[in-house]
A = this chain, B = another copy of it.
Amino acid sequence: MNKKEAIRIYKEFNEKIKAYTLVLNTTDIDRLTVAPRKGSAYRNRMLSIIEGELFELQTDKSYVEAILFLSETDLGEIGNRDIALAKKSLENILKFSKEETMEFSLAMMNSYEAWYDAKNRNDYKIFEPHLLKLIEMSKQRLQKRNPKIHPYDLALDDYEEGMDRKKYDLFFSLIKKELLPLIRKIDKKKGYIDDSFLYRYYPADKQAVFMKDIMKYIGFSSEWGCMALTEHPFTDALSRNDVRVTTAYDEHNITSAIFSLIHECGHGFYEHQIDPKYDAYPYLHQISSGMHESQSRFFENYLGRRKSFFRILYPKLQELFPENLKNVSIDDFIRAVNVSKCSLIRTDADELTYPVHILIRYELEKEIFENKIDLNRLDQLWDEKYEKYFGIKSGKASDGILQDVHWSGASFGYFPTYALGSAIGAQILHKMEKDLNVDDLLEKGKFSSITAYLKKNIQHYAALYSFEQILEKATGEKFDPNYYIGYLKDKYKGLYGIK
């Protein structure tokens, strides 16, 4: 095999792999948004067959040889990174047989169905056997992939290259030390800010109208993206110009869909703004979760919870819901959407308590993979953590262990990237505020200047560099979580009149 031949084979297979990925992802989006439930069993079985076909391609001898050959040659900075990521991906795939791959894929899809039912019926017992099976499978898979690395360290690295328990322990100890005292102080000031109007009745069909206003304001265009409904919001990009965001309505919580949609639009823009020159490098499109969450949480919080963001949007919201908001000023509204309280639902949490929701999941996952807990008590352990950190009890599994979709997809190690991403975002924000007059742009509806800034400094790179490298390029500094801590302390002390 020579370089030219290897490149030809590599490209030829990549085209097919991309095609399989497109139809699988499309069917996945369909499955998670509109597909009727009774078709699940058949659909999932058929999907696992296609997963098996994809496996055959990915492990084809000539493709494997081409990747191994190319990983020893110089393809320039972009090509080298693409091949390095391809090789890393390949090494993991090759550890398993086709049957194991199909079985794991089917277990995850069926687990989603069980989770969906369990959540909707508030019955953890429906989901429990699926969850325990996925934990067991994941432990075995991680062990098999690399017996020299602790399974949870490997899982953490899967979602954010370079991260492990040691680094996250340090990060979360800072969260605990610096934020928990403030969280408790603020929790004692319950009622200091009135947010009761956010929880009145907001019919879904009228919320849907406001979603369009948000997307228009942000510049999320129907030419290259669309929105669907789902049980647990997510974003998936089928290509740069085919970005799918999703949302879910809570008719007694107007903030839920709003901030969830803004969050997903952050993910969506990231995918849309990848430099077209990477189109030929498929593995560069596998952006790490921490970086991805840095952008989604940037939209959701660092932009979305500002008064300036709502200057144009809030009158539209008032017009849609005069019965609830006519007498609520924009200042009252903004204060209300920033209320901090110890609560049960991660996705609805304020910025300050949010990293503790993540800490709870991180601790649980660590204990699971360190074999330190009784897996038959997982739902109770979840509730106990919430009681320990927040002093509140769930009582409902659907507000406890069943609230998040991630474990049903065996995404162990994903949660920490939400907090990491928030911290990355805070550092980017600090730099952006020096370069741009953010509030002025938001007030004037010039959101495109902000997305252009994020494209230029962060998003266009795709996965060419690690999050630490991109962050250093964007801000001129190494990753420093103190920007995050500082931001949260300043914001919430100010909001609650604490010195």
Contacts and interface: CB of A to CB of B under 8 A. Distances in A.
Interface of A: 15-16, 18-20, 22-24, 26-27, 29-30, 34-39, 42-43, 46-47, 49-50, 53, 205, 221-226, 228, 238-239, 241-243
B242 A43 contact: yes
Nearest to A225: B36
A34 B226 contact: yes
Contacts of A225: 36
A496 to B, nearest CB: 41
Nearest to A223: B38
A37 B223 contact: yes
A403 to B, nearest CB: 24
Contacts of A43: 22, 238-239, 242
Contact of A35 (B19, B42, B47, B242): B242
A226 B36 CA distance: 6
A228 B39 contact: no
Copies in the complex: 2
B224 A38 contact: yes
A19 B224 CA distance: 28
Contacts of A241: 36, 38-39, 42
What does DSSP make chain A's interface, helix, strand, loop or mixed? helix
A34 B230 CA distance: 14
Contacts of A49: 15-16, 19
A20 B49 CA distance: 9
Contacts of A24: 23
A23 B28 CA distance: 9
Given A16-B49, A16-B53, A43-B239, A27 B22 contact: yes
B20 A50 contact: yes
Given A26-B30, A50-B23, A205-B205, A42 B223 contact: no
Contacts of A50: 19-20, 23
Closest 7 CB pairs of A and B: A39-B242, A19-B49, A38-B241, A23-B23, A19-B46, A22-B46, A38-B224
B18 A46 contact: yes
A176 B36 CA distance: 44
A34 B246 CA distance: 12
Contact of A243 (B23, B29, B36): B36
B38 A27 contact: no
A99 to B, nearest CB: 14
A37 B225 CA distance: 9
Contacts of A34: 226, 228
Nearest to A279: B42
A25 to B, nearest CB: 9
User: Among the interface residues A16, A20, A46, A243, which one has the most CB atoms of the partner chain B within 10 A?
Assistant: A46
A239 B238 CA distance: 24
Contact of A27 (B23, B36, B222): B23
Contacts of A37: 223
28 contacts: A15-B49, A16-B53, A19-B46, A19-B50, A19-B53, A22-B27, A22-B46, A23-B23, A23-B27, A23-B47, A26-B26, A26-B27, A26-B30, A35-B242, A36-B221, A36-B224, A36-B225, A36-B226, A36-B241, A36-B243, A38-B241, A38-B242, A39-B224, A39-B238, A39-B241, A43-B238, A43-B239, A205-B205
A54 to B, nearest CB: 10
A324 B20 CA distance: 50
Nearest to A227: B34
A271 to B, nearest CB: 11
Contacts of A19: 46-47, 49-50, 53
A391 B241 CA distance: 46
A189 B300 CA distance: 62
Nearest to A272: B38
Contact of A39 (B35, B42, B239): B239
A218 to B, nearest CB: 15
Nearest to A27: B26
A62 to B, nearest CB: 16
A346 B42 CA distance: 36
